[in-house]
Structure 1
Amino acid sequence: MAGAPRAGQVTLSIPEAGIKATLQTDAKGRALIDIPAGKLETWSPEQPKLYTVELAGGGDTVADRIGFRTIETRGQDILLNGKPVFLRGISLHDENPLIPGRLRGQGDMRMLLQWAKELNCNYVRLAHYPHSEEMVRLADEMGLMVWAEVPVYWTISWTNPATLANATAQLSDMIVRDKNRASVVVWSVGNETPISAPRNAFMGSLVRTARALDDTRLVAAALEIHRSGKRMTIEDPLADQIDLASFNEYAGWYWASNAEMLDFRFDIKLDKPVVVTEFGADALGGFHADADTRWSEEYQDRLYQNQFRMLAGIPGLRGMTPWVLADFRSPRRQHPYYQDFWNRKGLISDDGKKKQAFWTLKKHYDGIERRYRP
């Protein structure tokens, strides 16, 4: 089965569902099978059902644990298995804050995803690069939808053919690797890429590649918000090519104060679901002060509350992934006291303690879950 695509005969089996069929593949090694909907229980965060699927042919047999679900948009709604869903998410890095560095095994991965579940998330943004295959398989098992991303961000060499080839290869490899993971609902082609003609062509090429490889999932990117006075809009031409009005914004931290941010208004003209891919503020775990004191847990907590009030003015808001689940190491964060080479925007500190905003986000998601409950 790892050889060149060719026509042949294969047998597909899903023993638990009583399904077994012999299929004839085409010259590309592909075959289609229609399975009555009632034969399979759909995968969802509430019921992350996985089936053992076996494929036999040419003397070889492979098996995988696979979930079955649909994901699509209709106007400003995201539909999971045909029903509206709100993406109650959080962004996370492939890092363990307790032992700084990349995740060392399934225990580390499960810890991060369990923290997301404690927040009442049904969705995670795996930023800003493909995380391990085991992480995505755990998301399948634990019932967390996934935004999967390639490391195309900021100001790279948009006109260099080798750079485009590299990005295309990474995107293609990620899609081929994770195409059978029910948890993955969004392929992201990049993060915070400044608008220019060469960039637009580069990103458009990645969108087309993603759609050619997989037309069953949403394609998106984390865009940047445009500010004009107190008005916030999406002015990025890439927004017309992707499935979500998805963007990062840092009102209350990198611009405007906690109080001033409530004067800003979103004016999103796109008839598609709005997903806020980043917002947040740094807070040093254990540092307490009043809600106007930057770097305090109280400031971060108030910012989250004000973000919820501000974002409530977006009619098409259908998801968010605040930045970020846990503090992580960063050489760019050089404040000697508050940062000490850590990005402190985590809802969980580097010693594993939950900051005040963790519970504020959980309460917010509890309310959203009730509104979307069937």
Structure 2
Amino acid sequence: MIRKKHFLIVMVCCLLSFLNEAQENHNATLQNIHSQQKQSLDGVWQIIIDPLENGYYNHRWMPRDDGFFSNKKMEKPSDLIEYDFDTDYQLTVPGDWNSQMEKLYYYEGTIWYKRSFDFVPETNKNTFLYFEAVNYEAIVYLNGEKLGEHIGGFTPFQFDVTGKLKEKDNFLIVKVDNKRKREAIPTINTDWWNYGGITRSVHLVSTPKEYIQDYAIGLSKDDAKYIEGWVKVANAKQEAIVNINIDALKVKVKAKINNGLAVFKTKANPELWEPKNPKLYPVNIVFDKHVVKDDIGFRTIKTNGSKILLNDKPIFLKGISIHEEAPFNSGRVTTKEECLVLLNWAKELGCNFIRLAHYPHSEIMVKEAEKMGFLIWSEIPVYWTVLFENPDTYANAENQLTEMISRDKNRAGIILWSVANETPESASRNEFLSKLTKKVRALDNTRLVTAALDTQKGKANQRVIEDGLAENVDVIGVNSYCGWYGGSPESCAGWEWASKYNKPMIMSEVGAGALQGLHGDENERWTEEYQDDVYKNNIEMMKNIEFLAGLSPWILIDFKSHRRHLRRIQNDFNRKGLISEKGIPKKAFYTLQKYYHEN
């Protein structure tokens, strides 16, 4: 009887813990899209470049009833129709428009995309139209009918199109607008290229009428001898059964559905995921005719004073920051192969940690990094000086945060959710970001919260971390550019750091610019020798920071940026990469590599 009561108490606690997270994610997209039955809509799409938005507004700036989304065709010689997708330009999806067409290199505005396709619907099946990402605002139409809108350039969204598709000649039209706006997330001013377009894959996903919509499975935060989680099933009957099977652990759970949610907790003894042994277990989730498969790792992450503990053991994060910038050709990363090039460079550098800046990277990137044993920092683009007083701006940021966590909550490699980068101190900023940190913990209390702060103030060679935001995060990130934006390289080694908070610190950015192949004296800017000297002196500085738990220098490879105008040196590239955009390492690469291999 006592055992039975204990079991009930455990299950109630488990239910309360996970119910909150599941309800926070009630509008989540389908989980683990790559395990679903789907039809790809990738490939060549027809486009119309529309800087004046004639396809959406009439000459009185009122929305049109017969805009480009209607895809009209001439039916008789007297018809006046001033557009035709089928005779206009083309772009490849997934991909950005800036790197695909020279005339669109700097373009910011509206482009209409059209894709024609056939589809054979199956009886008793739902169909969802799923976008992995569109930058930045998307309005989606199917066969002339508006499905809906989405804001945010790096997270997935979907529409239920069950019963809306024909067997032949469907046309999907997407109005994509990447204009920067002051009230947006990110705001107008950034230091990366504003790649516009349908930048990630598009799918038609089929599910049974009663289907597995979402799930979260992981090691119990309170007791590592247990695996716990929840599965959300849409349209399920009360007390129907979901099966969660992890054959390698001899785990076979039958969980009852209560109001669409099946919560479970079961004893297990998994081999724990960690960088040197990134163990992933095949997990099958089965509800009636719907089967979703995932590979899930089990680990714990917490802090103790200034230490980060992975599986209850201190770990030092040897990292690098990465933009979602394609190696060799520039443009947005679109393939698994491009992800692997970047990750293998990070592995060669000696990293066990990557900071995916400054926005959620693709699901493929996250999964491949996890397989390779990288600990991951994932963040949303609350970047620089956003409108912290604007409620709509906050709602946008919170939505992007929710969509990021919802997509990647089952990835053991992710240990840090970041809510901001280099935001100026103010009361409104602290309130804005404090709300975001609370939201993170409501969505996922099994990981750590961080933010990258600006270089902290101090006198001479002393720096003190006293930003009020540090009170709200678990791990403090600090971006410091001693030797580049302030101080000489040789002065950096003598910098001394202190903190008002007994928390781990990650030097989330540190570095300098260099044009690969440009050599000279170590005091000559833009040379590989100058960049290398900055790294050598900053490494000496960091060796003396007692509360330093890791670093992620800026950055793996040179990347496109509208801010970088210096001809013959920058040429629209931020040159702080340790590797050139053509894949050639600079001297500082080997300096950091040596430090990582010795520590």
Match of 2:475 among 238, 244, 262: 244
Deviations for 1:24-51, whole angstroms, at most 9, x for unmatched residues? 24446141213332xx111111111111
Which deviates more, 178-187 or 59-68?
Answer: 59-68
- Distance in 2 between the 1:152 and 1:56 partners? 38
- Distance in 2 between the 1:204 and 1:28 partners? 31
Aligned AA (2:243)? T
Match of 1:330 in 2: 561
Match of 1:189 in 2: 419
Deviations for 1:108-145, whole angstroms, at most 9, x for unmatched residues? 00000000000110010000000000100101111111
Using the TM superposition, give the Cα deviation of residue 248 of structure 1 relative to its aligned residue in structure 2, in angstroms.
Answer: 0.4
Using the TM superposition, give the Cα deviation of residue 4 of structure 1 relative to its aligned residue in structure 2, in angstroms.
Answer: 6.0
Match of 1:153 in 2: 383
Q: Is the 8 A contact 1:43 1:49 kept in 2?
A: yes
- Distance in 2 between the 1:28 and 1:82 partners? 35
Larger Rg: 2
Aligned AA (1:355)? K
Secondary structure at the residue paired with 1:152? Answer: coil
Q: Is the 8 A contact 2:466 2:500 kept in 1?
A: no
Secondary structure at the residue paired with 1:216? Answer: coil
Using the TM superposition, give the Cα deviation of residue 320 of structure 1 relative to its aligned residue in structure 2, in angstroms.
Answer: 0.2
Match of 2:356 among 126, 147, 169: 126
Match of 1:220 among 450, 455, 470: 450
1:90-239 residue pairs with structure 2 within 5 A? 90-230=320-460, 231-239=462-470
Residue 305 of structure 1 pairs with residue 536 of structure 2: yes
Using the TM superposition, give the Cα deviation of residue 228 of structure 1 relative to its aligned residue in structure 2, in angstroms.
Answer: 2.2
Match of 1:19 in 2: 251
Q: Is the 8 A contact 2:515 2:528 kept in 1?
A: yes
- Distance in 2 between the 1:335 and 1:234 partners? 33
Residue 10 of structure 1 pairs with residue 242 of structure 2: yes
- Distance in 1 between the 2:493 and 2:321 partners? 23
Q: Normalising by the residue count of structure 1, what TM-score does the alignment of the two structures yield?
A: 0.95
Secondary structure at the residue paired with 1:34? Answer: strand
Using the TM superposition, give the Cα deviation of residue 340 of structure 1 relative to its aligned residue in structure 2, in angstroms.
Answer: 1.3
Residue 73 of structure 1 pairs with residue 303 of structure 2: yes
Match of 2:291 in 1: 61
Using the TM superposition, give the Cα deviation of residue 81 of structure 1 relative to its aligned residue in structure 2, in angstroms.
Answer: 1.1
Match of 1:257 in 2: 488
- Distance in 1 between the 2:250 and 2:596 partners? 38
Residue 292 of structure 1 pairs with residue 505 of structure 2: no
Q: Is the 8 A contact 1:13 1:20 kept in 2?
A: yes
- Distance in 1 between the 2:339 and 2:566 partners? 29
Using the TM superposition, give the Cα deviation of residue 333 of structure 1 relative to its aligned residue in structure 2, in angstroms.
Answer: 0.8
Aligned AA (2:348)? E
Q: Normalising by the residue count of structure 2, what TM-score does the alignment of the two structures yield?
A: 0.60
Aligned AA (1:63)? K
Match of 2:265 in 1: 33
Q: Is the 8 A contact 1:268 1:314 kept in 2?
A: no
- Distance in 2 between the 1:28 and 1:321 partners? 41
Pair 341,12 (structure 1): closer, same or farther in 2 beyond 3 Å = same
Aligned AA (2:272)? T
Aligned residues: percent identity? 46
Aligned AA (2:368)? L
- Distance in 2 between the 1:329 and 1:199 partners? 28
Secondary structure at the residue paired with 1:72? Answer: strand
- Distance in 2 between the 1:8 and 1:69 partners? 30
The number of residue pairs the alignment matches comes to: 366
Match of 1:354 in 2: 585
Match of 2:510 in 1: 279
- Distance in 2 between the 1:4 and 1:153 partners? 39
Runs of 5+ in structure 1 lacking a partner? 369-374
More strand by share: 2
- Distance in 1 between the 2:401 and 2:535 partners? 32
Q: Is the 8 A contact 2:275 2:374 kept in 1?
A: yes
Match of 1:87 among 317, 330, 335: 317
Using the TM superposition, give the Cα deviation of residue 227 of structure 1 relative to its aligned residue in structure 2, in angstroms.
Answer: 2.1
Which deviates more, 110-119 or 94-103?
Answer: 94-103
Pair 159,4 (structure 1): closer, same or farther in 2 beyond 3 Å = farther
Pair 270,171 (structure 1): closer, same or farther in 2 beyond 3 Å = same
Aligned AA (1:187)? W
Using the TM superposition, give the Cα deviation of residue 7 of structure 1 relative to its aligned residue in structure 2, in angstroms.
Answer: 5.3
Aligned AA (1:213)? L
Q: Is the 8 A contact 1:224 1:234 kept in 2?
A: no
Using the TM superposition, give the Cα deviation of residue 347 of structure 1 relative to its aligned residue in structure 2, in angstroms.
Answer: 0.3
Runs of 5+ in structure 2 lacking a partner? 1-211, 214-233
RMSD of aligned alpha carbons: 1.4
Using the TM superposition, give the Cα deviation of residue 232 of structure 1 relative to its aligned residue in structure 2, in angstroms.
Answer: 0.8
Using the TM superposition, give the Cα deviation of residue 71 of structure 1 relative to its aligned residue in structure 2, in angstroms.
Answer: 0.8
- Distance in 1 between the 2:363 and 2:410 partners? 11
Deviations for 1:143-198, whole angstroms, at most 9, x for unmatched residues? 11110000001111111111111110100011010000111010000100101111
- Distance in 1 between the 2:493 and 2:375 partners? 30
Deviations for 1:188-217, whole angstroms, at most 9, x for unmatched residues? 001001011111111011100100000000
Report which structure shows greater RCO (CA 8 Å, sep ≥6): 1
Q: Is the 8 A contact 1:96 1:103 kept in 2?
A: yes
